[in-house]
Every structure is written in C-alpha cells, then in structure tokens.
Structure 1
C-alpha cells in the first residue's frame, strides 16, 4: 500500500462470506473506506454498521452479483469517486458438491460465473481506474483445488484454476503500472462453504487466512498458500504422473 490508511479504499466483493467479513474487520480498524459488495443487502448493511463501529472511515453496502454484469459498473463508479489508493479483494465463489453437479450439469455455469468469469470481468473493468492511479492492490482468492483436477471437485477446481491463470496475467499487466496483484490459494477454511464436508486436512480459520493475506501484501508476494503447508503438498500432487494420479482418490 502506498498511501496513508485514511486514504485507502477497499472494494470487497463477496462481502458476506466468512473470510470477507474477517477481512473487512481488519481493514476497518485502519480507518479505511470499505465498499461492501454482495448479493444480500440485509447482511451487507449489518457488516457496514459493524465496520463503522470499528472505526472505518466509511462503509458503503452495494449489490454485486457475479452472474449479473449489470451490477458491476455502479461499484466501479463509486470506487472511482474516492480519492487516494484504490484496492479490491475478491472473495466471490460457489462450490456445489461434485455429486450435485453430476446430477445437474446446469450447476457448472453458476460455479464458473461465481468463481472465475464474473470476478475476472469485474477486475477487467476496474483495471483502467487502478492503472490511472499507479498504485493499489488486488487480492484474488482462489483455492488449492485449482492446482490439479481432482475427482471430488473438478468443476470448482477448474473455475479456480482459470481465475488463478487470469490473476497471473493481470499481475504481469498491472505490475507495470504500479498495481500489486496477490493470488491467494487457501486450503479448507472453517466457513459455511465447508460445513458438511467433515474434518478436512490442515483446516484453518478465516482470521488466520486474513492475517496471512496482510502479511503477503506487505511483502508484495505474488502467490500465497494458506496454510503454508499447502505449498509443498500441492507441489507434490502436481508432480504425480497422470497414470498414477488417475487411480488415486484425492
């Protein structure tokens, strides 16, 4: 971040998610301005009130739906009207079970829109505004599921893989204009999205993920695995030869 905290604006997409709420609390304490974008206006209003109680400069709730591009421009216009450094954190995504998608292939469209194409289109529209200011950060939350297609969640994994590739190219592009792009790859996080999946390996909490994000932003990291153990784990998984991998149940 290149400006003082009171001149920071954060667009938070998917602001109703557990991790997004933890992130909102963390930036509210710095006195930043937050734009809370999501589908549930009642929840966004409650989050805005909570952020104001924590010392945020201002908190603006606004409708965002990754599947409805007509909701994008109003957010960008609102952000562009703010002075100082503009940032964006993307927590949008949906994860139907693979069994549900197998039973109803129409779920593929929404999964990819929520987790990849909707956020990518929004960031593509936002990019010129950030380039013009030659500063700011983008946090794009992907998943370790995007590192290799696995039998249990390959549609969700494909969406997150596409988003990670998009963020890599966006980082290459915007980095030439002073904008930092961080790709975050969490493993299982204790949130509403993972409820019902049972105990998962190396599960972490939303607050721990947010702390890792801020540390990675300070260090201008390109990619963050959280928890850190997922970096060696996924490195090994990506190296498994395909004939062997096809016989595995991971």
Structure 2
C-alpha cells in the first residue's frame, strides 16, 4: 500500500523516545511523517528506520525551539501545511541547578513553555485560516501542581497546559474547526526518566502514548491521559489543601 499523501503529521522535537513511538504509530496508519529537530543526523537515522519499518514517507526538517526568530520562516517553508502538528519538545533539567543557575532555569522554561507555545500558536493561526487542522501539545502531570522537587520544569509545563486551554477555548468561541489537544502522559519510561524509580502501575511505555494520541485525535479529545488512573489522581492532587500539600514534601 502506498503512503497516503492526503494526511501528514509534523512532530517537533522528533528525536525523543516519545516522538519516535508517536511517529511510528502515525506511519503505520500510512500518514506522511515530518520529523523536526535540531540534529539532522539523528533525524535522518530516525526517518530511515521508520520508513523501512512502515513503508511510509518520512521527511526531516531543521528546527530549534529556542530560535524563536526562525519560527515564521520555518512554517512558511512548508509548501503545504500538515494536518497535525505535535510538540514533543521537552527538557527536564536539574531543579537544584536551576535554583542557582538562571541560564539553566531559563532554558527549562523556554524549552517547555515559551518555544512550544509560540510555534503551536503560529500553526493554529495558519490552520484557522485554512479551515482546519489539529494541534497537539505534550504537557506533564508535573504541571498539575508545583512541587518542591521540580517546580521550574513543572511551572513551564503548567504554562503550556494553560496556553493550550486558552487557545482551544478561543478557537471554539470563534467557531474554528481547529482541534487543540493537551496530552498529560503521567510517568513514561524513557531515556529522560531512566534514572528515576517510577511505580509500574502508573508508568506507561512510549508506544502506549503514541496509540493514545491517535485515539484522542480520532475522537477529537480536548485532554487525554495515557493511563486513565491519572485522571483520578490529578483530581485528588488538585483538591489537596495547600497547608497539607506542603507537608508531603514532594
């Protein structure tokens, strides 16, 4: 079966474990996959592997989420807009370092919030003008509530979630056909979390996330969790009184 040229997905930050799994999920459905990131050699290796495994067309594109002055030119370089744009850009960083190193804190904030929000907002405007499309942003359960152990990263992810929520609501009010979906994965076993002790029942693998994103797009969901237990847990986290939350020392 030949690739379906009518459907294309652009994945920003495409060299992560999550991006690879999501790209494979789309490619297996015969979508054209566009991988964007900073390292062209890494992107080329990913593209060759995904194409060999699925037979779908995979292209690569240079993109740096911190080079915000290049965003308009990056979008304009596509002869045709994709049907879906997903940001999987992320930098966990080191909380202790971020407390004393302002450059490191700024890099975490700009990578997880400022850059993804601006590029997704730009694509959303182009989609609205075209008459449709889907925006997908990957947030984090760390953004549900600030915790002492990773509040710089968590605050940036909270900002992204708030941006996507506001974007979704504005487009709905305007009667736009643009779908905006926030992904709150919960714990994912990736290279970024390889040194963490994560509870198995709460921890998904990247392939689960890829399938959850496709299912969410099919159903035009606003917010999705990879494992449904996180929907219940995030509600509990939000309801804990602040005085008690401080005592948990999370």
| TM-score > 0.5 by shorter chain | yes
Cα deviation digits, residues 9-44 of structure 1 (max 9, x gap)? 211000001010111111112222222111111110
Give yes or no for contact 1:66–1:119 (8 Å, CA) kept in 2.
yes
Unaligned 5+ segments in structure 2 are: none
Q: How many residues align?
A: 244
Shift of 1:78: 3.4
Match of 1:18 in 2: 17
Match of 1:37 in 2: 36
Cα deviation digits, residues 147-204 of structure 1 (max 9, x gap)? 1001111111100000000001111233421011110001111111111122346111
Unaligned 5+ segments in structure 1 are: none
In 1, Cα distance between equivalents of 2:170 and 2:50: 32
Match of 1:157 in 2: 154
In 1, Cα distance between equivalents of 2:14 and 2:220: 23
Secondary structure of 2:224's counterpart equals: strand
Give yes or no for contact 2:40–2:61 (8 Å, CA) kept in 1.
yes
1:1-250 map, 5 Å: 5-53=4-52, 54-56=54-56, 58-79=57-78, 81-82=79-80, 86-175=83-172, 176-200=175-199, 202-250=202-250
Shift of 1:144: 0.6
Secondary structure of 1:6's counterpart equals: strand
Cα deviation digits, residues 195-223 of structure 1 (max 9, x gap)? 11223461110001111111111111111
Give yes or no for contact 2:171–2:178 (8 Å, CA) kept in 1.
yes
Scaled by the length of structure 2, the TM-score of the pair is: 0.91
Specify whether residues 134 and 5 from structure 1 end up closer, same or farther in structure 2 by C-alpha distance, changes over 3 A only: farther
Shift of 1:86: 2.1
- Where has structure 1 moved over 4 Å in runs of 4 or more? none
In 1, Cα distance between equivalents of 2:105 and 2:156: 9
In 2, Cα distance between equivalents of 1:25 and 1:71: 27
Give yes or no for contact 1:6–1:30 (8 Å, CA) kept in 2.
no
Specify whether residues 5 and 132 from structure 1 end up closer, same or farther in structure 2 by C-alpha distance, changes over 3 A only: farther
Secondary structure of 1:108's counterpart equals: helix
In 1, Cα distance between equivalents of 2:110 and 2:129: 28
RMSD: 1.8
Specify whether residues 174 and 47 from structure 1 end up closer, same or farther in structure 2 by C-alpha distance, changes over 3 A only: farther
Specify whether residues 147 and 234 from structure 1 end up closer, same or farther in structure 2 by C-alpha distance, changes over 3 A only: same
